[in-house]
Amino acid sequence: MGDFILKKFPDILNDISTKYDTNMAEKYLYKYDGMVEFVYSPEILTTILFYQESVMSSRLEGTVATITDILDYKVGRDVSERIEKDANEIENYKDALGYCVKEAERNDFEVSNALIKSIQYIVLNNSRGADKLKGKFKERQNYIGNKYDREITYTPVSYLHTEEYMDNLMDFINAENQINPLVKVAIIHAYFELIHPFEDGNGRVGRILIPILLKKYNLLSTPYFYISYYLSRNRSLYISSLEAISKANDWNTWILFFINAVQQQTEILIKMLRQLKAIRMRAENNINELKTQFSINILNFLFKRIKFTTVKFIEETGINANTARVLLKQMEEKGIVEIEEKGSGQTPSIYRFKDLYSMVEDISE
């Protein structure tokens, strides 16, 4: 375990080099940010990104459900007990992400212990961590270790000092200084994990804060950037880079990993935005050919729901039942939607928005 003792700010900065080349990562962030500005509706972006982030961040904690599993669960299809539990955990993460974005925007992106506690409460609500303290800092010592052989690799800050360390971190987050903003975000994420302020949910809360910080430090104009896809795909490197700090006081390995992770994830997101734009344009053209006054309602609904029942389509678009069924039939004929399960009696049909569902299947694996 070593003798690593976490120093407070600003003393700890004496151990950390803050001179890094972040030009390429920032260049990709600015490019992505410019593309986000031209997304027609935030619903299009947030639905896909929130789901991808929620699934991948939760996967880092041991869930196995994919986005398509979640969509099955939401339309009432039978899923395994394991997938149902995963789905609840993933929905919690998605809710916490949405809450964090709204609250941060409302408070001019001031980060506080109250915000962080609220995020953790939502993350754990009615999930596998529900027996742990929710919305409160830990009240007993926690440990980080290898769950397979139960070896303790790091002992976080004592519960007796959590509040003062978190207050110190909040001061650092909200203070203006000369540190490169991307490096600052890297330091904050690692420092939060080293404090490990909660009994459970630390990793998920720490990852939710990343887009808020990128927006706060003007690296993005909107907080729609999520990194868990890359971190999940590079889990061993993510964990070992963080462990290098407590094992050898090696911040360099972590900061270099984080800068590269941001760049790589941004390239992935740029590709996704291009796909979404193409899907949106194709769907818009096809739906306009239906000559219906409900074109916008339908388009926004499809991007929000992706997979849905006839009942949900009628409820959420505000179209009367007979017209809705005619439009669904026309959309099926045009290849905009496809029937996944034909309804019978009191059971409604299940549809999916074909192009977007295909994209979701690709990013689910």
CATH number at residue 336: 1.10.10.10
Same domain assignment for residues 268 and 343: no
Q: What is the pTM of this model?
A: 0.92
- The answer as to whether 150 is a domain residue is yes
- The answer as to whether 1 is a domain residue is no
CATH of the domain at 233: 1.10.3290.10
Same domain assignment for residues 338 and 199: no
- Where is 217: in which H helix or E strand? none
- The answer as to whether 277 is a domain residue is no
Same domain assignment for residues 232 and 304: no
- Residue at which a domain ends, from 241, 272, 303: 272
- The answer as to whether 296 is a domain residue is yes
- The answer as to whether 283 is a domain residue is no
- Residue at which a domain ends, from 202, 237, 272: 272
Range list of H helices, the chain: 23-37, 42-59, 67-74, 81-106, 113-124, 162-174, 181-195, 202-216, 228-233, 235-248, 251-288, 295-305, 310-317, 321-333, 354-364
Same domain assignment for residues 176 and 311: no
pLDDT of residue 319: 97
pLDDT of residue 1: 44
Encoded tokens for 21: 């080349």
Separation CA 236–CA 52 (nearest Å): 20
Range list of H helices, 79-177: 81-106, 113-124, 162-174
- Residue at which a domain ends, from 227, 244, 272: 272
> Number of folded domains in the chain?
2
Same domain assignment for residues 51 and 116: yes
pLDDT of residue 129: 59
Same domain assignment for residues 62 and 97: yes
Same domain assignment for residues 308 and 266: no
Separation CA 283–CA 81 (nearest Å): 35
Same domain assignment for residues 267 and 325: no
- The answer as to whether 176 is a domain residue is yes
Within 13 A of 238's CA, how many CA atoms are on the CB side?
A: 18
Same domain assignment for residues 304 and 242: no
Same domain assignment for residues 338 and 250: no
- The answer as to whether 279 is a domain residue is no
Same domain assignment for residues 118 and 229: yes
pLDDT of residue 47: 83
- The answer as to whether 180 is a domain residue is yes
- Are the C-beta atoms of residues 9 and 184 closer than 8 Å to each other? no
What is the residue-level pLDDT of the chain in tens, covering all 365 positions? 457 899 999 999 999 999 999 999 999 999 999 998 877 666 677 788 888 999 999 999 989 999 999 999 999 999 999 999 999 999 999 999 999 999 999 999 999 999 999 999 999 987 765 567 899 999 999 998 866 556 788 999 999 999 999 999 999 999 999 999 999 999 999 999 999 999 999 999 999 999 999 999 999 998 989 999 999 999 999 999 999 999 999 999 999 999 999 999 999 999 999 998 899 999 999 999 999 999 999 999 999 999 999 999 999 999 999 999 999 999 999 999 999 999 988 889 999 999 999 998 888 66
Query: Which residues constitute the domain of residue 295?
Result: 290-358
pLDDT of residue 128: 66
Same domain assignment for residues 307 and 253: no
